[in-house]
Structure formats: C-alpha cells, structure tokens
Homo-oligomer: A and B are copies of this chain.
C-alpha cells in the first residue's frame, strides 16, 4: 500500500517520551536531518513499510487502500452545501434501490447457477447410472471421467486465461476490501462472468468444492458493478450514481452484496446478514443491518418464486427442494444432560480437526502457489489432475463397498436409480443398495443431504463412512487451491458430516441422539473449527436444517470448536489473507503496541514529502514521479489572503491526495506567480466528480517545459481537516482511531510546536500499523505475548 511518510527534519527534541524509545538511538537515520527540498525522494532501506504488493488472483499486483475519511476540501464542501433536499432524497432512494437490485440480481444469478448445475450434473449422473445398469462399468468410468474432465477444463481455461481473480472463493478479498484494501480487477465484469460460468463448470464436474464462496463473490461483483454504473469501460453516466463515487458508499453496497451471496448460497437470509456482520465486514452500523436484511429478503423471495415455478419439473432436474436444503426438522430432539458428553466431544474434535485442516491447507496452498507460478500450463494440468483423481475415486471406490439389503423400515424408496435419492442401487442386485455410491456418486449437495438423513441409523456401514471421510479429507486439501472458482463451505461440511456420522455410529449404543444429528453437529463443529465463525454458522445451520430445537447444542458445539481451534492457529480466511499478503487490519491492537509510540514508528519510515500550499509545477511532477506516496501534507503560512503572494512555511494546512495533484496537472491548473486563488476559480475549473476518479497515472499527464516553471495553488484541493495524532500517542491508541474511523492516512504531529519543529512528523498508513511489519522494523520489541490478544 502507499507508504507516505514524512520528512521535514525531525530534531531530537528532548521529549519526555523519548527516554522510553524501544529503537536504539543509533538506528535512526541521520539523513532525516537534511533539508527536505534536497531530499532524493528515493526509498531507503531499513524502513517500516513493506511494499504495497499482494497476490491477487494469480499475479502479484499493486494494491491500494480505500479511504473512508470525509475529505473536507473546498470543492467537496461546496458540493455538499449545494446539495438540495431533492438530491439528498435521491441519494437515500438510490441506496435502497441498489440494495433491492443487488438482492434481485443475486437471486436471479443464483437461480441460473443452481438450474445449470442441477441439470448438467443430473443428466451426467443419469447417464452413468445407465452405463452401470447395463454393467458397462468401464464405459461408465470413461464417460464419467471424461465429462468431468471437460467441465473442469472449461472452468480452468476461463479462470487461467480470462480472469485469474475468479479462481478461489473470493471471500478473503472481499473481507480485505471491506477492511479497506482495494485489490485490482476483483469486482470487474469479466471476473463476474468467469466466476458464474466457471462455478457452474467446476461444481458440475463433481469436484470437492461448493458454489457458496463463489456466490458471495458474484453478489459482491454485482453490487460493485451496480454502484459504479456498469463495467469499467462502459459505465452508465447516470447523474444519480455520482453520489456513490466514494469508498464509504461502495463499502456499504458491497456489504449488502456479500450477505446476499451467503443468503443465496444457503437460502439463509438471517444467516447471510450475520455472516456479513461476523466474518466479512469491518465497519457496521444499524442502518446497514436493515439494508442488508432488505437485500437478503429479496434474494429469498426470488429464490422461492423460482422454486415454485420449477416445482413441476418445468426446469429439467431443478426444483425438487424447497427453501430448506438439508431438512432435519422431523428429528425429534429430546436430549438430556448426559447427551452433553458426545456434544462436547464433537466440539473438541471439530476444533482439533479444523485447526489441523487449516494447518495442512496452508502447506498445500504454499506448494500450489509454487506450482502455479510456473505458468498457465502448470495451472491447467494441476486442475485437470485433481479432476481426474476425484472422478476416478468417486467412481471406483463404491465398488469396494458391499451391497446392503433394503430395510423396510426406511422411509424413503429403496433402492433408487434416479439422479437423487438416498439408497443408490449402483452395481447391486434388486432390493439392495450400495451405501458408498449413495455418498460418492452424486452431487455434493445430495451427498450432504444423504449423510444428514435422519432415522437411518443402519443405512451406512462404518467402513463406507470411513472411506468417505478419508477421501474427502484428501480432496478437501488438494482441490481448494486449483484454478477454478471454489468455495470452502461445502468441502468442510462434507468432511465434518463424515466424521460426525462416524462418531455417531461409534457412540450409537450410548446415546439417544439421531445419527443425522451427529452428522449435522460434526459439520457445524468443523466449520467453526476451521472458519471460526459462531453466530452466523449457527444461524445458517438453523436455517439449513429448519430445526430450532437444535439451537442450544449447536451453540455449545460451535463455541467449543472455536475455542479449541483458536488455541492452535488463525482462521482459514486469515491464513489465506496472510498468504496473499493482503494488509488486513485486525480489530484489536496487540498488547505490545501500547509500549510503542507512533513517533517511533514515524522515525522508522522514510521521511514525508511535504508540498507548499502554492507549489511549483516542476516539484509536483518530480515528487509524483519519484515517490509512490498517495498523499502529501501541505504546509503553509498561517495568514493567506486570496490574491496575495505567499511563501512556503511550516504550518500544517492539510493533506492532498495524489489523485488530486494529478487532476491539477491534467487540468493545467497553473498560474505564473505564487498567488492564492479565489474559491470560485477552482470551482469553475474542477468538477468534484472528476476528483473522485482514481485511475489517472503520472505517465498519462503531459506537462510542457514552460509549464514546469509555473505554480499551482493546491489549497482548494487540500483536505484541510485530516485526522491527526500527537507523536507521543501509543500505537495501540492510534490504531483505535485508524480502524474505527477507517482512515487511509493518519498524520502525526509533533508534541510541541515551535521554531524549527516540522508541522508533520510522519504519516502512518495501513501497512505501518500491521503487527508483522512493525515487528520486522523493530526486532527488539518485547513480544512475549504477542499471540495473546485481549478480546
């Protein structure tokens, strides 16, 4: 991210805080003493900020921070004042309209995806059943593997060649976006299309991945595209939309999008809102709760409407299920205090397995990123290899299972040869079923439904469930990192339900709980153990299983699993965020941050580059070319009457953004003398809509030799009220401000002003406040308890 930093010679003021400095005095760079006008503007070594690079999609990209601060420069202020009541109403109305549209479009897209997957996978499985019935087992294998291969190929080709950012779940990037990290190409139209088509392909191919994560990303893309009025190159220039050209409003809409996505994935509207609140969003407010709730309500209504339309087989194989996917509402939940013991065991094992899964997945992802870096062909081969392995296992393993006779006590048809159904005949004689085929040779959704099924304690053999569990452990580890859109929810649910049901079989004689319930609790515990969400997982499972009486035991399982998991490692999303190098800012400062002042941080950074209120064009061009800072403090004299000639002094006037400097150059906002302009002049020159633009690069701006000698009045473009902190403030306290208000740049002012003291000691950005970066720059910090946050 940007590493703006300040120079303006910092004299070693005899400051009371100085005595406690953690860095040795000798480590400071003597160059800070030199005059900033002669500063080389090049980055130095031994600085605090790491490079603003992260892994986005497959490539290492330059990422930017978002800015939620209210920019109070003359132009924006004027715009705000001139907004009429009607315009404010337009703005409010548009917010609601967008929330509604996000819900509507997400619901429609989710329906299309479900429809496509159910039909493609369904007809594929029907054909396989046909081969098996004719005992043409080898042809069946070739057909099954071949179709899956082609589906994976299409998904992987799209992801590799058109939108690398569409691979994976996308949830970590959304989480980072809502935390204030803007990753390029994450919410574009290409990404959206590739994600939709790729997701259909990958899920239909029977890979061990879900459409849940991708749906969240898809919904966020929809939200982002709606807010900016269409794809980058073909934006709608609707006047109303210009009010949304700021990071705050886009953040809110993308939050709506992410909750709509979860809602569409699990058909869980309250769970969707809570997921956005608990896992994805960094900033939250009551009004947002209401708006996301509106979006998810629309999603559910759209989904229900289509399920109703499709209920009579009008949509091919889609439309069997209602709003609830894994309905276990007919389980009579009657549990006693003794049943707490298996519940606690499930929680503990879930936590252990979850953290183990996180640990192993981390290793696998590291290995995969090594393979993926070798080129596009390697990526394709990896994805196809995984697909082949998955298909072969899913097809061949059921032959290992013994045929089991249908028990008349089963409530469902047995055996079945349909696409769905709980008792697949597969290679068995009439009146018998193959329990492993029921779990493997089906869509992932149906596999979950089958293993969750209640009143079927004798359906599965130990060994079958064990094989199922082991296979999905392996698949869950090797599938996630390949270059197709892939969600993490379903693999974890599959693994968890496997071990849960297995545990249920083992504890069968000692418990009253249904084995389907064990599978549900196992899935919940593994989700909590790996993703470390509690409330939202709980509500999602409630909405999935439609049984509120499960609530108390689900809660206990989730809390135990999260506690156990947290004592080993970070949540899976945090691990992925770290792996990708996205500078996510944590909610709680580390305890040792209380012992470090922001002044010390500023000392470890390259000096800030201040500009004068009325600056020479050549210096601005110079500064923009030679630094990658995104904001520059403006220093000035205190008395500046418009029209008079000014000199550059050392009082802080405000902060100017790189984008606004570029606009000043592009618009040729030049004058021949150091003169303060009147407010109306700037207002005539600049349009605040243009000022919201961020895409301009210094290379795109041409300045003639003659213009280089002219001056620019930066005052109208300067944010005159940046948030400042005093240099003696602890990093922990400064971080509260930075994160709560959602800053991009935080100015550090000296404790005591006076002659020779600079107006700005430094500028802190997101990167500077990350624990890892600080610890790299200050290796001597006492971090004996830096793992232990006080939450």
Contacts and interface: CB of A to CB of B under 8 A. Distances in A.
Interface of A: 13-14, 16-17, 69-70, 72, 77, 80-81, 83, 85, 88-89, 91-92, 269-270, 273-274, 277-278, 284-287, 289-290, 293-294, 296-297, 300-301, 304-305, 308, 323-324, 336-337, 534-535, 538-539, 542-543, 546, 548-549, 551-552, 555-556, 559, 562, 587-588, 591, 594-595, 638-641, 651, 715, 720-721, 723-726, 728-730, 732-733, 736-737, 740-741, 751-754, 784-785, 788, 790-791
Given A85-B785, A651-B753, A736-B70, A548 B277 contact: no
A653 to B, nearest CB: 8
Given A721-B729, A723-B737, A784-B85, A534 B70 contact: no
B559 A293 contact: yes
A278 B270 CA distance: 13
Contact of A14 (B70, B534, B542, B641): B641
B323 A549 contact: yes
Contacts of A308: 336
Given A85-B785, A293-B538, A721-B725, 13 more contacts: A13-B638, A14-B641, A70-B730, A72-B730, A83-B591, A269-B552, A270-B542, A278-B286, A293-B555, A297-B555, A300-B551, A301-B556, A308-B336
Given A638-B13, A790-B88, A269 B81 contact: no
A286 B788 contact: no
B70 A754 contact: no
Given A721-B726, A723-B737, A737-B723, A552 B81 contact: no
Given A293-B559, A534-B289, A791-B92, A732 B70 contact: yes
22 contacts: A16-B715, A70-B736, A72-B733, A83-B591, A85-B788, A92-B791, A269-B555, A270-B539, A277-B277, A278-B289, A286-B791, A287-B587, A289-B534, A290-B535, A293-B559, A300-B552, A308-B336, A324-B548, A543-B548, A721-B730, A723-B725, A740-B741
A198 B293 CA distance: 37
The 3 closest A-B pairs by CB, nearest first: A638-B752, A287-B791, A721-B729
Nearest to A287: B791
A736 B72 CA distance: 13
A81 B593 CA distance: 10
Contact of A753 (B80, B277, B546, B753): B753
A274 B271 CA distance: 12
Contacts of A83: 591
Nearest to A292: B535
A591 B552 contact: no
Nearest to A96: B563
A534 B293 contact: yes
A791 to B, nearest CB: 4
Contacts of A555: 269, 293, 296-297, 300
Contact of A741 (B324, B559, B737): B737
A305 B337 contact: yes
A535 B273 contact: yes
Contacts of A277: 277, 289
Contact of A651 (B274, B752, B784): B752
A595 B337 contact: no
A651 B293 CA distance: 50
A785 B88 contact: yes
Contacts of A791: 92, 286-287
Contacts of A77: 594, 730
Contacts of A287: 587-588, 791
A639 B751 CA distance: 11
A790 B92 contact: yes
Contacts of A13: 638
A270 B754 contact: no
A269 B542 CA distance: 12
Nearest to A788: B88
B270 A538 contact: yes
Which residue, of A534, A715, A725, A728, has the highest number of chain B Cβ atoms within 10 A?
A: A534
B290 A562 contact: yes
A535 B293 contact: yes
A297 B559 contact: yes
Contact of A551 (B80, B270, B651, B785): B270
A535 B788 contact: no
A337 B308 CA distance: 10
Contacts of A587: 285-287
B724 A638 contact: no
A123 to B, nearest CB: 30
A788 B70 CA distance: 19
A751 B720 CA distance: 9
A686 to B, nearest CB: 18
A720 B728 contact: yes
B737 A728 contact: no
A435 B293 CA distance: 38
B741 A721 contact: no
Given A290-B534, A721-B726, A723-B725, A16 B552 contact: no
Nearest to A592: B81
A788 B90 CA distance: 12
A297 B638 contact: no
